[in-house]
């Protein structure tokens, strides 16, 4: 383990910089604070910084200020352009982090962006692992995320205690970019699953079945899934407050369809669902939770959608 993370006398927790305090980043950073880590955060929204300080963290005025003394720098931003914006340039992470620091990028981005970041960081003496997550806002709050990691074994081992404070299933999937590839596959499975659940909901309701009873029994059999467990109340109550926005899932479906094309993998069902996600976004529902795919099925079925 790096001397940055452990003294000769006893293990010490690394100083952590956290960049990106959104729907996922805020509760995740708070879980690190609860686990005893010193967390210095930066994001563009003052209310998110206020939330961090209320939880016991420290707010920084810039990326440079946040990362300058950090042993580990966790990034959780929406997409590849944002990762590149915070990583590069005179005010970015690579120019201001100390040599030997470890970047744990938990954003969901293209595999190539992760590969490029690791290469460019190495030239600065900075290490990187890509560590995107699955589990949504609830998983972030409950610290039960699934974390899929790409990078070097030694860096994964060093980051593992920190990741243990954020999730329950934490797996090194291969070299740089592998975590993002697995996350893309995750998003494919989730989107197709939500779409299937949404179609079942409309089918059941139009058939006059007690929807709650039907979903309960379906979830107890082979049709059951984490998606149905997590999103059942969204379907029942038509509550689409964003836990994971359609806008972000649209971005992720673009990543998986492009990556699949590059390796020659056919995604016939995934391609259709990607278009349905894009269509829902085009109808103005991009800010809603991805369970709002139900709204698209309702429109196609002739239902009035508020």
User: The domain spanning residue 134 has which CATH number?
Assistant: 3.40.50.720
Same domain, 251 and 131: no
3 part of a folded domain = no
* Mean pLDDT on 123-134: 97
User: Is 279 a residue whose pLDDT tops 70?
Assistant: yes
Domain, as residue range, for 81: 16-175
**DSSP of the chain, one letter per residue?**
--TTTB-SSSB-PPPEEEE--STTHHHHHHHHHHTT--EEEE-S-HHHHHHHHHTT-EE-SSHHHHHTT-SEEEE--SSHHHHHHHHSSTTSHHHHSPTT-EEEE-S---HHHHHHHHHHHHTTT-EEEE--EESHHHHHHHT-EEEEEES-HHHHHHHHHHHHTTEEEEEEEESTTHHHHHHHHHHHHHHHHHHHHHHHHHHHHHTT--HHHHHHHHHTSTT--HHHHHHHHHHHHT----SSBHHHHHHHHHHHHHHHHHHT---HHHHHHHHHHHHHIIIIITTSBGGGHHHHHHHHTT----
> Would you say the pTM of this structure is higher than 0.85?
yes
> Do 29 and 160 fall within a single domain?
yes
Q: How many domains does the chain divide into?
A: 2
- Pair (196, 260) in one structural domain: yes
Q: Are residues 197 and 246 in the same domain?
A: yes
* 101 and 83 part of one domain: yes
Question: 10 pLDDT exceeds 90?
Answer: no
- Whether the pLDDT of residue 5 is over 90: the answer is no
Q: Per the residue annotation, which of 48, 183, 231, 251 is the catalytic one?
A: 183
Residue 215 reports pLDDT greater than 80: yes
Same domain, 217 and 76: no
Residue 125 and residue 198 share a domain: no
Can you tell me the mean pLDDT for 4-25?
77
Residues 69 and 167 in one domain: yes
Query: Does 257 fall in a domain?
Result: yes
Query: How confident is the model at residue 9, as a pLDDT?
Result: 41
Q: Is 183 a catalytic residue?
A: yes
Give the model confidence (pLDDT) of 26-75 as tens digits.
999 999 999 999 999 999 999 999 999 999 999 999 999 999 999 999 99
């Amino acid at each position: 383990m790096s001397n940055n993370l452990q003294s000769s006398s006893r293990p010490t927790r690394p100083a952590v910089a956290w960049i990106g305090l959104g729907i996922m980043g805020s509760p995740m950073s708070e879980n690190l604070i609860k686990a005893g880590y010193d967390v210095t955060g930066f994001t563009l929204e003052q209310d998110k910084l206020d939330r961090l300080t209320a939880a016991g963290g420290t707010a920084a005025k810039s990326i440079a200020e946040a990362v300058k003394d950090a042993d580990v720098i966790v990034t959780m931003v929406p997409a590849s352009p944002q990762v590149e914006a915070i990583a590069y340039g005179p005010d970015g992470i690579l120019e201001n982090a100390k040599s030997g620091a470890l970047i744990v990028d938990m954003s969901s981005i293209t595999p190539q962006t992760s590969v490029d970041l690791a290469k460019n960081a190495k030239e600065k003496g900075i290490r990187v692992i890509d560590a995107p997550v699955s589990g949504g806002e609830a998983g972030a709050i409950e610290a039960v995320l699934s974390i899929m990691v790409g990078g070097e074994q030694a860096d994964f081992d060093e980051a593992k205690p920190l990741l243990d404070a954020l999730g329950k299933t934490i797996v090194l999937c291969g070299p740089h970019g592998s975590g993002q590839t697995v996350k893309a596959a995750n998003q494919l499975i989730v989107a197709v699953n939500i779409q299937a659940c949404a179609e079942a909901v409309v089918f059941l309701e139009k058939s006059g079945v007690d929807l709650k009873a039907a979903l309960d029994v379906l979830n107890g059999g082979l049709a059951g899934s984490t998606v149905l467990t997590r999103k059942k109340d969204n379907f029942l109550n038509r509550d689409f407050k964003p836990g994971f926005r359609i806008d972000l899932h649209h971005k992720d479906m673009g990543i998986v369809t492009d990556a699949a094309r590059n390796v020659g993998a056919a995604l016939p069902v995934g391609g259709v669902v990607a278009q349905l996600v894009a269509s829902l976004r085009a109808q103005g529902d991009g800010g809603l939770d991805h369970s709002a795919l139900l709204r698209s099925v309702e429109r196609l079925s002739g239902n009035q959608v508020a």
